[in-house]
Amino acid sequence: MIKIFVQLMLSLVMLTSGYALSADAPLRIRLATTTSTYHSGLLDYLLPEFKKDSGYTVDVIATGTGKALKMGEHGDVDLVMTHAPAAEALFVKQGYGVLPRKLMYNDFILVGPKADPAQVSDQPNVQQAFAHIAASSIPFISRGDDSGTHKKELIIWAKSQVKTDFPGYRSVGQGMGPTLNMASEMQAYTLTDRGTWLAYQSKLDLAMLYEGDSLLFNPYQVILVNPERYPSINYQGAKTFSDWLVNAKAQTLINNFTLNGQALFVANADK
């Protein structure tokens, strides 16, 4: 009799715990996003404000844009925050994503050895800067991870009419932080988003050598995973987060986010 009572009590505890977990689950949102929004500290700055306003906790998976979109395609997350316009358009066109929204932008920059042995800073455009690197003996470190930064880099090489099989090209399959560290150690060039550069530059023996070309524009979007394809996702939570990100408060927070006195992103949801 006692054994049966104990088993009943254990079953009741398990059922109660299961109910509690189910009740709490909708208050969690799964976001796949780029390493740049993570390494820059932007999400650490925004998410406490969102939780205060909504009650939602956001579980962040920081990875390259290509992998983030793949997670969305598989229904492993509720929404994505990425920076590769062509890949994002395909993600929506193929029915994996809905409600794409402009969120913010910054830019990519070319960094490398302070002495600039390939003379990239003297070039009239970023294509010529890349071509000079390829023609030199100085290494170029590529993220090689299908991230938004990697996709942009490949676009620039293509526009430069340079194949990435030159002797100094190193594809490392790493995030932006490790790639910058490797470039610093090897005294190599690399392409980086400005936000991660500002977060890391004090630890690196590198200089920013090229900026401002229109080809280096770096827009970010937030896109919800399609609930018709994956009914089990937390679409309501994702929509709440997306709505919050593009509202006046969050857009002001994004504009006010600085590191060492420099703004990292420009909000553009209303543009």
Residues 71, 91 within the same domain = yes
Task: Find the range with the poorest average confidence among 96-100, 192-196, 210-214, 223-227.
Answer: 192-196
Q: What is the mean pLDDT of residues 95-118?
A: 98
Question: DSSP strand E in the chain: where?
Answer: 28-34, 57-63, 79-82, 97-112, 140-142, 169-171, 190-193, 207-210, 217-225, 258-259, 262-263, 266-267
* CA angle centred on 27, ends 99 and 265, rounded to 5°: 50
- Say if CB 189 and CB 53 are below 8 A apart: no
**Rounded percentage of the chain residues whose pLDDT exceeds 70:** 90
What span, in angstroms and rounded, lies between the C-alpha atoms of 127 and 154? Answer: 11
User: Residue 39's closest CA among 149, 140, 114?
Assistant: 149
Give the range of the structural domain holding residue 40, as residue numbers without chain letter. 26-105+219-267
The pLDDT score that the predictor gives to residue 26 is: 63
The pLDDT score that the predictor gives to residue 120 is: 97
Q: What is the mean pLDDT of residues 179-207?
A: 96
Residues 154, 82 within the same domain = no
> Is 7 a domain residue?
no
Residues 45, 74 within the same domain = yes
pLDDT averaged over every residue in the chain: 91
Q: Against a cut of 0.75, is the pTM above it?
A: yes
**Structural element, H or E, at residue 15:** helix 2-24
Task: Find the range with the poorest average confidence among 31-40, 87-96, 117-126.
Answer: 31-40
User: Predicted confidence band at 11 (pLDDT cuts at 50, 70, 90)?
Assistant: very low
Q: What is the mean pLDDT of residues 27-39?
A: 93
Say yes or no to pLDDT of 171 above 90: yes
Identify the three-state secondary structure at position 212: coil
**Structural element, H or E, at residue 36:** helix 35-39
Residues 99, 111 within the same domain = no
Q: Which residues lie closer than 8 Å to 177 by C-beta, 6 or more apart? A: 35, 39, 196, 200
Residues 204, 225 within the same domain = no
Q: How many residues are given for the chain?
A: 271
The pLDDT score that the predictor gives to residue 270 is: 81
Single residue among 178, 194, 216 that ends a domain in this structure: 216
The CATH number covering residue 183 comes to: 3.40.190.10
142 forms beta bridges with 171
Residues 72, 139 within the same domain = no
Identify the three-state secondary structure at position 97: strand
| DSSP 8-class letter at 174 | -
Residues 136, 204 within the same domain = yes
Residues 86, 140 within the same domain = no
| Residue 205 buriedness (CB in 10 A; 0-12 / 13-18 / 19+) | exposed
Residues 65, 130 within the same domain = no
Residues 111, 212 within the same domain = yes
Total domain count, the chain: 2
Neighbours of 131 (CB within 10 A): 20
User: Predicted confidence band at 38 (pLDDT cuts at 50, 70, 90)?
Assistant: confident
> Is 20 a domain residue?
no
Residues 97, 115 within the same domain = no
Q: Note the pLDDT tens digit of each residue in 221-250.
A: 999 999 999 999 999 999 999 999 999 999
User: Predicted confidence band at 9 (pLDDT cuts at 50, 70, 90)?
Assistant: very low
- Say if CB 84 and CB 193 are below 8 A apart: no
The pLDDT score that the predictor gives to residue 163 is: 96
Residues 117, 134 within the same domain = yes
Single residue among 200, 216, 232 that ends a domain in this structure: 216
| DSSP 8-class letter at 145 | S
Say yes or no to pLDDT of 6 above 70: no
